[in-house]
């Protein structure tokens, strides 16, 4: 299925060289499609992370740091073209590694190329300012890179998150060190090779694989890092925030959510139903911005739940090319999601199926729709990260707002109504970072600032907002005669 040359070797990319872990240790990569090992990665330790950070510093103070913004942007645009040229091979590799349906892997590669196009184009378009100040003075603000940025990336969308995080950091002139997730990191290693072929100077992009608690932790705690970008669980995010505070550096944390889709009784249900199902089935529900709760106004409860149930029953989790739902990432994640389903204290409205051609050793879970779900129950409060949708009835707009905002998370919300006044009121009432009205974009929107509050994290990625995060202002006052 895959040509061997495309399978990365168990090596880290450090200062332009592919090196095994200093300890010589490796770890196997398991394919979620069939539960079998098919590759290996370097099982890196703190000494490898340290070497990568030193290489990034050298690049920042040398060949990479010397480039003009336009030159950086041009390299990024060249990489975008390389990604496009190799998109199909990268997508095949991603599906093998991560298990996601090939259509999703292809969409991920298109988004990845687009991130490098977007941020490559933006590299020379963020200006400092001239500030009106005293006579005989010029006061200006310079926008400068942080220096060495650390990027800790989860397994759910490896290349999209690499694109939005490393892409924005590179555009602003930072030198980067990435620790991808041990469960899916092969496409990111392949990107390292494409970047070198595109002409990036050694050390601008360093990649160190291994375990989160070892290599990830070493990166987040290292005093040589100037900024940390983390996407993953709230638990680890908290540890990253504490490590950043110890080193007195800024960080962005993107920690997932329990995002609601709120459907009022005047909504276009034909338009809403497929989007609601897609937003939880996409990527097996393993999406930080998955629409994992649907709040339904009482008058349309029966009708909409019946429409959703019909669609849930039609979904088959399997390895086929056209499957909407693939396997989950790991045996652990499958057990976790099945635990939520088995322990649900709400009626099961509908369940999909597992396809006949799904290997028994693969990590497949049939999607489940529950309702009415108690808004205070774990099913309605906790991020399951699987194809499980909690339907919750409400009567009034005020009640919908209270339930929608009634979790510790706040990432995305979807509002379905034809009433323009209500659309505007609801958009403002949502405690989250992104609101969709009569639409929903789980994970979408390269150009759209994205991020959360409280347990969903802080800081903004994507769009121009990320360029501000990955740079800092310096004020310069120049008195002249």
Q: Which does 97 bind (CB under 5 to 8 A by kind): Mg ion, ligand NAP, none?
A: Mg ion
| Omega before residue 217 within 30° of 0, cis | no
- Radius of gyration of the chain measured on its C-alpha atoms: 23
Site for ligand NAP in 311-330 (CB under 6 A): none
Q: Which of 44, 49, 40, 38 lies closest to 10, judged by CA?
A: 40
DSSP classification of residue 349: E
Q: Is 455 in the site for ligand NAP (CB under 6 A)?
A: no
What are φ and ψ of residue 61, in 5° steps? -85, -5
Size of the site for Mg ion (CB under 5 A): 4
Site for Mg ion in 179-198 (CB under 5 A): 183-184
Q: Is 183 in the site for ligand NAP (CB under 6 A)?
A: yes
- CA–CA gap between residue 297 and residue 280 (Å, rounded): 19
Minimum distance between the CB of residue 251 and ligand NAP, rounded to whole angstroms?
Answer: 11
Q: Is 97 in the site for Mg ion (CB under 5 A)?
A: yes
Q: Which of 182, 221, 254, 469 is catalytic?
A: 254
- CA–CA gap between residue 235 and residue 410 (Å, rounded): 16
CB 433 within 8 A of CB 461: no
Q: Mark residues 274-303: x for contact with ligand NAP by CB under 6 A, - for none.
A: --------------x---------------
Q: Which of 288, 316, 383, 461 is catalytic?
A: 288
Active site residue 288: yes
- CA–CA gap between residue 355 and residue 369 (Å, rounded): 18
Q: Which does 239 bind (CB under 5 to 8 A by kind): Mg ion, ligand NAP, none?
A: ligand NAP
Q: Is 39 in the site for Mg ion (CB under 5 A)?
A: no
CB 192 within 8 A of CB 209: no
Site for ligand NAP in 350-389 (CB under 6 A): 383, 385
Site for ligand NAP in 187-216 (CB under 6 A): 211-213, 216
Minimum distance between the CB of residue 235 and ligand NAP, rounded to whole angstroms?
Answer: 7
Q: Are strands 259-263 and 412-416 parallel, antiparallel or unpaired?
A: parallel
One residue of 152, 189, 249, 253 binding ligand NAP per CB under 6 A: 152
Active site residue 254: yes
Stretch that binds Mg ion, among 24-32, 196-204, 271-279, 286-294 (CB under 5 A): 24-32
**Nearer CB in complex with ligand NAP: 65/386:** 386
**Nearer CB in complex with Mg ion: 29/415:** 29
Each residue of 185-220: b (16+ CB within 10 Å) or e? bbbbbbbbbbbbebebbbbbbbbbbbbbebbbbbbb
CB 340 within 8 A of CB 381: no
CA angle, residues 369, 409, 302, in degrees to nearest 5: 30
Minimum distance between the CB of residue 156 and ligand NAP, rounded to whole angstroms?
Answer: 5
Task: Report residue 317 CA to chain centroid gap.
Answer: 22
Q: Is 236 in the site for ligand NAP (CB under 6 A)?
A: yes
Q: Is 412 in the site for ligand NAP (CB under 6 A)?
A: no
Binding site for ligand NAP (CB under 6 A): 152-156, 179, 181-183, 211-213, 216-217, 220, 231-233, 236, 239, 254-256, 288, 383, 385
**Residues catalogued as catalytic:** 254, 288
């Amino acid at each position: 299925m895959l040509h061997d040359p495309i399978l990365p070797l168990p090596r880290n990319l450090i200062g332009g060289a592919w090196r095994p872990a200093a300890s010589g240790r490796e770890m196997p990569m398991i394919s979620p499609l069939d539960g079998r090992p098919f590759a290996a990665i370097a099982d890196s330790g703190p000494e490898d992370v340290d070497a990568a950070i030193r290489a990034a510093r050298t690049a920042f103070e040398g060949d990479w740091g010397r480039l003009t913004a336009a030159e950086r942007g041009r390299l990024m645009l060249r990489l975008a073209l390389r990604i496009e040229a190799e998109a199909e091979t990268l997508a095949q590799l991603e599906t093998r590694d991560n298990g996601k349906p090939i259509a999703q892997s292809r969409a991920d590669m298109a988004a990845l190329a687009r991130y490098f196009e977007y941020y490559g184009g933006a590299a020379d378009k963020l200006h400092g300012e001239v500030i009106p100040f005293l006579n005989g003075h010029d006061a200006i603000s310079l926008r400068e890179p942080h220096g060495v940025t650390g990027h800790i990336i989860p397994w759910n969308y490896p290349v999209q998150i690499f694109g939005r995080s490393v892409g924005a950091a590179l555009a602003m002139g930072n030198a980067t060190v990435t620790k991808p997730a041990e469960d899916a990191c092969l496409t990111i290693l392949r990107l390292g090779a494409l970047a070198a072929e595109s002409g990036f100077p050694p050390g601008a992009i360093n990649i160190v694989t291994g375990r989160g608690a070892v290599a990830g932790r070493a990166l987040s705690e290292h005093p040589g890092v100037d900024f940390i970008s983390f996407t993953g669980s709230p638990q680890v995010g908290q540890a990253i925030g504490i490590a950043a505070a110890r080193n007195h550096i800024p960080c962005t944390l993107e920690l997932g959510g329990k995002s609601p889709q709120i459907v009022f009784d005047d909504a276009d249900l034909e338009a809403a139903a497929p989007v609601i199902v897609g937003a939880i089935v996409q990527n097996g529900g393993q999406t930080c911005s998955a629409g994992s709760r649907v709040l339904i106004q009482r008058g349309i409860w029966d009708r909409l739940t019946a429409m959703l149930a019909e669609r849930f029953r039609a979904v088959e989790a399997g390895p086929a090319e056209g499957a909407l739902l693939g396997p989950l990432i790991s045996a652990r994640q499958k057990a976790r999601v099945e635990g939520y389903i088995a322990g649900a204290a709400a009626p099961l409205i509908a369940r999909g199926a597992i396809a006949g051609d799904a290997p028994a050793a693969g990590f497949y879970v049939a999607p489940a729709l529950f309702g009415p779900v108690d808004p205070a129950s774990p099913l309605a409060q906790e991020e399951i990260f699987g194809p499980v949708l909690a339907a919750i009835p409400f009567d009034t707009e005020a009640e919908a707002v209270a339930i929608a905002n009634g979790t510790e998370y706040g990432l995305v919300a979807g509002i379905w109504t034809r009433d323009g006044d209500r659309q505007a009121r609801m958009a403002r009432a949502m405690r989250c970072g992104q609101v969709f009205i009569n639409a929903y974009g789980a994970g979408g929107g390269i150009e759209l600032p994205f991020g959360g509050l409280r347990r969903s994290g802080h800081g903004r990625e994507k769009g121009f907002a990320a360029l501000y995060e990955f740079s800092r202002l310096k004020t310069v006052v120049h008195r002249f005669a």
